[in-house]
Structure 1
Amino acid sequence: MIWAVNWWLAGLIGLVVGAALTWLIERTVSAARNPPDTLDTDTWEPEVDPTLISALDLRNGPGIVVGDHDEVLYATEQAISIGLVEGSRIVDPELLDMVRRCRREEQTEVQDLDVRPNPSVPVLHMVVRAAPMDEHGSALVLADDRSAMIRVEQARNDFLANVSHELKTPIGAVSILAEAVEDAADDPDAVRHFATRLHTEAVRLSSLVTQVIALSRLQSDQPLLRAEPTDVSEVVHKAVHRMDELARSRHINLVVRCAPGLTVMGDPGPLIDAVANLVQNAIAYSGPRARVSVITREGREGDLRVVEIAVTDNGIGISQDDQKRIFERFYRVDQARSRASGGTGLGLSLVKHTARVHGGSVSVWSKVGQGSTFTLRFPMHHPSSEETS
């Protein structure tokens, strides 16, 4: 009996010990397979400060926050729209190299970067800065689009080059004609001939310089020297009167029809110049005994009441391709005709800028062989009770 009890106790103890060993082994294996993270307090999980996000959004330009593994943690809409970022990665390899370099050298990198969002749009010229943010390897990327500034600088350089080129022609002609006059001192008829041509070139030179100055003023920060209620009828009649002699010399019939009571707020001088330029062009590109009409009327652009000044001719017309460029400085549809009429190539550019600084616009309708119509539109001025009293 005692022997049976002992045997039973031994079996129970063996069972308990076996179960305990099994539990210990399973726990050890589990611990080996899933070790406890003893470095929880030292593990860095990348997060973007909401204040930084707000600052990037307020900046209204391309901005990117990059993690230590080159992953994009945050990107502004501008950075995405111009193709710097796609999903969680930086697309442009040059930009990615900049980020890695700034992280490796622990200093800000600055580089010019040309970006083309898609083949149908022009290249964007960007100045990009990449700077390390912290010891973990995060980086901040800021980009500024300098495309507009570069275009302005290029336009300025082109303008100066064109002015220099255009000035050479009359200046050279004046020099040659002066020598011809000197050599023909004993021939009164030759002197008169060369003196007439000399006067023509001097007038062209004076006109070019005057228009360059006027265009520079219109493109300045304060283009209007004075703005006052201006009678449109008076502007048109003064502009047409300025072209009377030119029209008579070319046997052009000038017709003016002005609606009464139309007023705009502006500087009368540039407005008269703009209309005169349109009339001069209409005369220059019309044949003998043609008709040029100048009409003013009230119009509408949406809810806005506007004054329209339309100059129409039945001359040679302008092709669709030329219509896209006629308001560019020094662009001429017909080089020979323009020079023969004393044109400088600045007239329509002056018209466009005059319209712009007065809050208006200029448009063209034309068909080759049928003629053209240039229409100026300005916001109508409504006189106050003080002005009418």
Structure 2
Amino acid sequence: MSPLVASVLGGVVGVLATLLGLVMWRTRQQPAEPIPAPLLSPALKTTIEHLRGPAAVLGPHDEILAQSLTAASSGVVRGSRLARTEMLELVREARRETEPGVLNVDLPTSPGMPSRRLALRVAPLGDGLVLLVADDRSEALRIDETRRDFVANVTHELKTPIGALSLLSEAITDAADEPDAVRHFAGRMSTETARLNELISQIIALSRLQSSDPLLAAVPIEIDEVADAVLDQFRDQADSHQIVLSHQRSPGITIRGDQGQIEAALRNLVQNAIAYSEAGARVALTTRRVHDAAGDWVEVSVSDNGIGISEADQARVFERFFRVDYGRSRAHGGTGLGLSIVKHIAAAHGGTVSLWSRLGQGSTFTLRLPALQPETDEGSAA
């Protein structure tokens, strides 16, 4: 090949290489065509957005294409992505295996509060789409735990009087030829039977409180009339323990609710005040109407100058079966359920119950309930 031909061929190859490089450079500079996301049907999108619980539809690249209003606030979704790695893995596995999946996830809440348990379910929808639905199981788990604790506590509390009755019946049998011993043991059996009957009654009362709404058949209640009736029930008991009962009233204040439950709440508070007071003490019941930013309230306070409650015990006094002084409680026939019942009654009526106490100075329990407005009475009468 002559030098001239070689030179020409080399020039042609150089030009072609330059052109090819230019074409490749321009190709790289041009943006790639975006891969269109699968389209969701309007019906599916609207359905997801209006679900009450956390739910979302994810695209082929794990992006959120639709979500319910609670998906973000529940901690399932953050921005346009799932909030937790384990959720994302569940979605990818469902897409890869084309099979539904289930996962339980514990999500943190505010400091000092228990975590939330979510049951996640995912299902592939085709074209890389995956549906995720979350069910908040926190309340159900709390109820199950409460039920287990309650059954365990009831079982433990029932064993004491039942065991005592069993031993006393054996003692009576062994002392059949000793009339004085038989009378003594029979009296003890009567005491244990009364304690067992009171415990069962309180358990039934608490169970009914948890399964009914007292406001469904609510009536106007003159709180001072109920307070007088409750104090009358305990005057003989108070006199026998040299305890003075007093009532500071605010006439005309009315609430709306179940009168039997309100009376039971006050009865438990007065009974507790007497039980934890020494001879010569005073138990005062005070009613008054107060107003704050939340509205008008009726406060019923039961105060005593008895032994008081330690700060450590104050946090637990409203727990079922908790007793500040077990021996004193048993001596007065206490079941450990009274204050728990008061708390449930207050909550069911839209109110609260609070405690102030100092060791050696006494205690004050305050039942706070929504006041019935005068115009409400007039409207009801009309």
Report the TM-score range of the alignment, normalised by the length of the smaller protein.
Answer: 0.7 to 0.9
Confirm whether residue 350 of structure 1 aligns to residue 333 of structure 2. no
Question: Alpha carbons of 1:121 and 1:225: their partners in 2 closer, same or farther (altered >3 Å)?
Answer: closer
Change (3 A) 1:305 1:172: same
TM-superposed deviation, 1:30: 3.9
Quick check: 1:115 aligned with 2:80?
A: no
User: 8 Å contact 1:217–1:223 — kept in the other structure?
Assistant: no
Q: Verify: 1:371 aligned to 2:375, yes or no.
A: no
* Contact kept? 1:285, 1:316, Cα under 8 Å: yes
Cα 1:115–1:194 shift into 2, 3 Å: same
Equivalent position amino acid for 2:363 in 1? S
Is structure 2 residue 121 aligned with structure 1 residue 126? no
Paired with 1:50 and 1:122, the residues of 2 have a C-alpha distance of: 38
Query: How far off its partner does 1:173 sit?
Result: 1.2
Moved more, 249-258 or 90-99: 90-99
The answer as to 2:87 corresponding to 1:95 is: yes
CA distance in 2, matches of 1:265, 1:56: 41
The correspondence of residues 144-223 of structure 1 with structure 2, limited to 5 A, is 144-223=135-214
- Counterpart secondary structure, 2:309: coil
Q: Does 1:104 align with 2:96?
A: yes
Q: Does 1:384 align with 2:369?
A: no
Looking at structure 1, the residues matched to 298 and 78 of structure 2 have their Cα atoms a distance apart, in angstroms, of 49
CA-to-aligned-CA distance 1:244-263 (integer Å, 9 cap, x gap): 23222322111122222222
Report the secondary structure of 2:272's partner residue. helix
One-letter amino acid of the counterpart of residue 220, structure 2: P
Partners of 1:352 and 1:308 in 2: how far apart?
Answer: 14
Matched, 1:46 2:37: yes
Correspondence for 1:233 among 217, 224, 236: 224
Question: Matched residue pairs, number?
Answer: 367
Q: Which residue of structure 2 aligns with residue 6 of structure 1?
A: none
- 1:215 & 1:63 partners in 2: Cα distance? 37
Do the aligned partners of residues 359 and 70 (structure 1) sit closer, same or farther apart at CA in structure 2, a change above 3 Å counting? Answer: closer
Normalised by the length of structure 2, the TM-score is 0.84
Q: Is 1:243 aligned with 2:229?
A: no
Deviation (angstroms), 1:67: 3.1
TM-score norm. by structure 1 comes to 0.83
Q: Percent identity?
A: 47
Q: 1:188 to 1:225 in 2, by over 3 A?
A: farther
Match of 1:334 among 316, 325, 329: 325
CA contact (8 A) 2:59 2:129 kept: yes
For the 8 Å contact 2:214–2:349, the answer to whether it is kept is no
Unaligned runs of 5+ in 2: 1-11
- Tell me by how many angstroms 1:273 deviates: 1.2
Partner of 1:260: 251
Is this contact kept in 1: 2:214–2:257, CA < 8 A? no
Superimposed CA distance per residue, residues 92-132 of structure 1 (whole angstroms, 9 cap, x where no aligned partner)? 33322211211111121122222335765422211101121
| Residue of structure 2 equivalent to 1:14 | none
Aligned with 1:305: secondary structure? strand
In structure 2, distance between residues paired with 1:96 and 1:261: 62
Determine the C-alpha separation between the residues in 1 that align with 2:72 and 2:381. Answer: 56
Counterpart contact for 2:352–2:367, Cα < 8 Å: yes
Contact 2:283 2:302 (8 Å CA) reproduced? yes
Q: Sort the Cα spacing of 1:274 and 1:48 in 2 relative to 1 into closer, same or farther, 3 A.
A: farther
Contact 1:292/1:312 (8 A) holds in 2: yes
Match of 1:342, as an amino acid?
A: G
CA apart distance, 1:184 = 2.2
Q: More displaced, 199-208 or 183-192? A: 183-192
Aligned to 1:318: 309
Cα distance, 1:388 vs. partner? 7.7
Distance 1:120 1:271, change over 3 A: closer
> What's the offset of the Cα at 1:348?
0.6
- CA drift at 1:150: 0.7
CA drift of 1:196 comes to: 2.0
Q: Which runs of 5+ in 1 are unaligned?
A: 1-19
Larger-gyration structure (1/2): 1
Deviations 1:33-91 (A, max 9, x none): 4559xxx99x7422674945554443243334333233455666744455444555545
- 1:187 and 1:55 mapped to 2: Cα distance? 81
Q: CA RMSD in A?
A: 3.2
| Matched AA of 2:50 | L
Letter in 2 for 1:326: V
Pairwise CA distance, 1:146: 0.7
Q: Assess if the C-alpha contact under 8 Å between 2:250 and 2:288 holds in 1.
A: yes
Please tell me the residue identity of whatever aligns with 1:285. Y
**Structure 1 residues 54 and 318: CA distance shift in structure 2, 3 A:** farther
Q: Deviations over 1:167-200 (max 9, x none)?
A: 1111111222122223223323222222222111
1:278 to 269, 278, 285: 269
Q: Which stretch shows the higher mean deviation, 98-107 or 111-120?
A: 111-120
SS at match of 2:186: helix
Partner of 1:15: none
User: Which SS does the other structure have where 2:118 is aligned?
Assistant: strand
Give the secondary structure class of the aligned counterpart of 1:211. Answer: helix
